[in-house]
Structure 1
Amino acid sequence: MSKVRTRFAPSPTGRMHVGNLRTALYAYLIAKHEGGDFILRIEDTDQERYVEGALDIIYRTLQKTGLVHDEGPDKDGGVGPYVQSERNATGVYLKYAKQLIEQGDAYYCFCDKERLESLRSRVSEDGTQIVVYDKHCLHLSREEIEANLAAGKPYVIRINMPAEGTTTFHDDIYGDITVPNEELDDMILIKSDGYPTYNFANVIDDHLMGITHVVRGNEYLSSAPKYNRIYEAFGWDVPVYVHCPLITDENHKKLSKRCGHSSYEDLLDQGFVSEAIVNYVALLGWCPEGNQEIFSLEELVKAFDYHHMSKSPAVFDVQKLKWMNGEYLKAMDFDTFYEMAEPYIRDVVTKGQDLKKIAALVKTRIEIFPDIREQIDFFEELPEYDLSLYCHKKMKVTEEKALDVLKETLPLLEAQEDYSNDALYETLKSYVDEKGFKVGYVMWPLRTALSGRQNTPGGATEIMEVLGKEESLRRIRQGIVRLEER
């Protein structure tokens, strides 16, 4: 078998949708699993949808995710250009379209907009209206065609699809699929602006670039017979098709661009890390052997077998992604974590406390970086809190007993010079042992007075280390006053 070559061929139309990222990832994994090549090709034939800066987004996304391409606009592998508008300028698409005309497999179509709008239409599976072309221009005489061309009449070039019988094609995920030929419209190959359509350019480029496996979303399944018609007309080998299942939201609706977490950069903005996004996206339609869920990119390359992809829609479960992201944050080295967490901490804490100590407290307790804010806001300002927080049934702490603990530990903490976590813990542990209490019986009231929160990152002594002696004592004294006034 020839060397595996896959391609990712995005359009520069904005942020990279999760579905496009998965296509890129699967194409990369299929190639790298077999020691093959992964090619980047830019499909900019739809000039109306071009978005300024979108090309930079594509490069940035591939670089951040680790999906390094072997060939592309910036890495010539000898089969470029790798940008379709540049390829179009060479006349390659028109050349092949005219070859099909000469073979009788394609034809010029001069129908204007009004005539096309008068044709019958049908509704596709996704609800869009499709005009069914009636092959009117297929029957024009050579003289009529030449006269129209000489007069400069606008035209498109269409493929001549069979109108009767059926066409069967094979996909490595969905198997053999048979469609009635009457459903296959004579699709346009070259548009009136001289640009190739997405479908035609894909076939020409995939063949000329030696692409062996075509990876794309299953919304293109219905186009496969049209692609095959072009391959067969040229006598070219048809590549292996790998159509990926649909990605839906939690309500089983197609994940749309309007969804708040539909693009890679949306997810970065929401505090997810790149490695977790890539890991999670890999599992949207592919099931690894065994129970492993956390994969590095290198592990994915080794484990990925596209034959284990699913036909069923994959649900984008944000909660599952958050869990996975939390696992990545726990495993991350501290310096990297702090660099990423610092802006979120500075958003909340402005009073000169040790931000690294705060980062260390939250590292294993958050799933995404924005979680930091609600975890640490009490460091900046003691919130209003209900005195019932001092009570803890399991530890048999009441408001009255909490008051006793605060009053008895206050002088110990006032005398304490070393406000490091370990030193504070030793002091309080001595008090606990002396009194015969359980550690939680003493720490619970202290933590409540220090934080005004039921749940905190870190215990009482860790909080005091961050707050420092002066602020810790102020909050404990305030707790005593409030409990005495109740």
Structure 2
Amino acid sequence: MESTRIRTRFAPSPTGYMHVGNLRTALYAYLIAKHENGDFILRIEDTDQERYVEGAVEIIYDTLKDTGLLHDEGPDKDGGYGPYIQSERRGIYLEYAKKLIEKGEAYYCFCSKDRLDDLKKDLEEKNQTFKYDKHCLSMSEEEIEENLKKGIPYVIRQNNPTEGKTTFKDVIYGDISVDNSELEDMILIKSDGLPTYNFANVVDDHLMKITHVVRGSEYLSSSPKYNRLYEAFGWEVPIYVHCPPIMKDAQHKLSKRNGDASYQDLIAKGYLKEAVINYIALLGWNPGTNEEIFTLEKLVEIFDFKNINKSPAIFDIQKLKWMNGEYIKKLPFEEFHSLSEPYYKGILPENMDKKKISQLMQTRIEILSDIPEKIQFFASLPDYSAEIFVHKKMKTTYENSLENLTKILPMLESLESWSEETISELISSYVQEEGIKNSQIMWPLRSALSGLQSSPGGYLELAVILGKEESLSRIKTAIEVLKKHL
């Protein structure tokens, strides 16, 4: 017997930016499908028109393209299961809801808002959770026809049993049972004719032959209602893969409403898309080894959704920074330089050798947005005190720093050619003639040129990047700072 082709879907609502939780759902759905050479489908769930944000659909497309999570089917790639936008499938949902009414698994509800408000108030006074009381279930066919003819607004509700249990199996959380008495007769079709999120999902997943449903663990409580719909239709239930929540810390979930990390925010802050995808893959899943750096191709090869954890995942920004730094180090130099150049604008003089600065930066930053702060000293010497010249390990003091800088200054001034080779030769000769340690001239020079306690690059690289005139000017400033201290 031929095995079923794996089909997963990413079904976002166009409500704004791509939150990292949404991106992880897309990534896991993509990996599950591609690990088995299956299909990854994009479906736009826009039935909640009040939450629709202009331009959000483009963000979804752009993010999937940018991250390499390329869909096989979707609104722009018809694979024979379209339309792939829920608002374009309106007639389909009403047709299937009516099939459930015929089976006694759903019913018309004509209750007014006032009646529902009174019911809610009455249950609250009794300290009971609101649950619809099946008032309209007992209506005769004649009454229903009469109401429909009159154009009385209605919704269609699921008819759930009030006794027994409903059990469903989740790959991550195992068997979960719920008392049917707790099940709400949820609305399937709203009064505007559009389906509710839950109903549209079930119908679409079946019609699009989705085999694995990946979603957040917050949907666990809705799963029994989903299952009852599948059973009512006589459809096969897909494999559920519920992912643990992504937490900002032990108490707080990452939240789009609270402005927590979206994919767009992370890219704007200077994170690389490859690092973001790698890190998000590890939020709730592990490969069973200590390895942490994975390309998307490698993730496709090794991803096993059964290794997804139950426990919440903490979004550790420091860990992401470290991982991003590792990706930056591995970039081809020309690519890194190209990514860095926008951060140089408005800070560095036009005639400064930007490539040499990129060579210094590539191994010294974790995110691209670290660059402006780290290169500021190239543009202008920061205010500093004489303390930066004193280093116990380097055997430097205020006195010997001042002495060596004062002696080396005229020698540097006399250099006709200003290059790493000529400066290095001069310093080597000076060290031999004076009988001092290398560090006793190199440390004061680096401190003088950068004006910093620690800086990217040594004195040679800094001197060449800054040029002869600026380097000599900075050494003179250092001499004055040390004189004032002494």
The two structures have a TM-score, normalised by structure 1, of 0.96
Question: Which residue of structure 1 aligns with residue 391 of structure 2?
Answer: 392
**Secondary structure in 2 aligned to 1:119?**
helix
Change (3 A) 1:467 1:131: same
Paired residues of 1:449 and 1:476 also in contact (CA < 8 A): yes
Separation of aligned partners in 1, 2:107 and 2:158:
7
- What is the one-letter code of the residue matched to 2:216? G
Question: Which residue of structure 1 aligns with residue 30 of structure 2?
Answer: 28
Paired residues of 1:248 and 1:313 also in contact (CA < 8 A): yes
167-176 vs 351-360, which moves further: 351-360
Cα deviation digits, residues 454-473 of structure 1 (max 9, x gap): 11110111111111000000
Can you give the 5+ residue segments of structure 1 that lack an aligned partner in the other structure?
124-128
Question: Which residue of structure 2 aligns with residue 186 of structure 1?
Answer: 185
**Secondary structure in 1 aligned to 2:368?**
coil
- What is the one-letter code of the residue matched to 2:52? Y
RMSD: 1.6
Paired residues of 1:344 and 1:372 also in contact (CA < 8 A): yes
> Are 1:152 and 2:154 matched, yes or no?
no
**Secondary structure in 2 aligned to 1:444?**
helix
> Are 1:168 and 2:172 matched, yes or no?
no
> Are 1:470 and 2:472 matched, yes or no?
no
- Residue 448 of structure 1 deviates from its aligned partner by 1.1
Separation of aligned partners in 2, 1:252 and 1:349:
43
Cα deviation digits, residues 281-324 of structure 1 (max 9, x gap): 00000011211101000011011101011000000001110111
> Are 1:421 and 2:423 matched, yes or no?
no
415-424 vs 286-295, which moves further: 415-424
Paired residues of 2:20 and 2:263 also in contact (CA < 8 A): yes
Question: Which residue of structure 2 aligns with residue 98 of structure 1?
Answer: 98
- What is the one-letter code of the residue matched to 2:414? A
Question: Which residue of structure 2 aligns with residue 18 of structure 1?
Answer: 20
Paired residues of 1:156 and 1:192 also in contact (CA < 8 A): yes
Separation of aligned partners in 2, 1:372 and 1:69:
35
Question: Which residue of structure 2 aligns with residue 196 of structure 1?
Answer: 195
Question: Which residue of structure 2 aligns with residue 117 of structure 1?
Answer: 117
Separation of aligned partners in 2, 1:232 and 1:275:
41
Cα deviation digits, residues 159-206 of structure 1 (max 9, x gap): 101111211100000000011112110011111111111111111111
- Residue 262 of structure 1 deviates from its aligned partner by 2.1
379-388 vs 405-414, which moves further: 405-414
- Residue 121 of structure 1 deviates from its aligned partner by 7.8
- Residue 353 of structure 1 deviates from its aligned partner by 1.3
Separation of aligned partners in 2, 1:256 and 1:436:
63
- Residue 373 of structure 1 deviates from its aligned partner by 1.6
Matches within 5 A, 1:59-458: 59-88=61-90, 91-120=91-120, 131-350=130-349, 352-458=351-457
- What is the one-letter code of the residue matched to 2:92? V
Cα deviation digits, residues 349-382 of structure 1 (max 9, x gap): 2353122211211111111112112211111111
Separation of aligned partners in 2, 1:422 and 1:94:
80
Change (3 A) 1:258 1:193: closer
Identical residues among aligned pairs (%):
63
Separation of aligned partners in 2, 1:121 and 1:272:
50
Separation of aligned partners in 2, 1:277 and 1:336:
18
Change (3 A) 1:335 1:252: farther
379-388 vs 424-433, which moves further: 424-433
358-367 vs 278-287, which moves further: 358-367
Paired residues of 1:294 and 1:324 also in contact (CA < 8 A): yes
Change (3 A) 1:361 1:302: same
**Secondary structure in 1 aligned to 2:452?**
coil
- Residue 424 of structure 1 deviates from its aligned partner by 2.3
Paired residues of 1:213 and 1:240 also in contact (CA < 8 A): yes
Change (3 A) 1:261 1:363: farther
Question: Which residue of structure 2 aligns with residue 126 of structure 1?
Answer: none
Paired residues of 2:449 and 2:474 also in contact (CA < 8 A): yes
Separation of aligned partners in 2, 1:121 and 1:415:
92
- What is the one-letter code of the residue matched to 2:201? N
Question: Which residue of structure 2 aligns with residue 38 of structure 1?
Answer: 40
- What is the one-letter code of the residue matched to 2:78? D
Paired residues of 1:30 and 1:305 also in contact (CA < 8 A): yes
- Residue 251 of structure 1 deviates from its aligned partner by 4.2
The count of corresponding residues between Structure 1 and Structure 2 is 479
Separation of aligned partners in 1, 2:420 and 2:242:
56
Separation of aligned partners in 2, 1:477 and 1:270:
38
Change (3 A) 1:256 1:316: same
Change (3 A) 1:279 1:477: same
**Secondary structure in 1 aligned to 2:393?**
coil
Separation of aligned partners in 2, 1:386 and 1:38:
60
- Residue 341 of structure 1 deviates from its aligned partner by 1.2
**Secondary structure in 2 aligned to 1:216?**
strand
Separation of aligned partners in 1, 2:70 and 2:440:
55
Cα deviation digits, residues 385-404 of structure 1 (max 9, x gap): 01111111112211110011
- Residue 130 of structure 1 deviates from its aligned partner by 6.6
Separation of aligned partners in 1, 2:142 and 2:398:
101
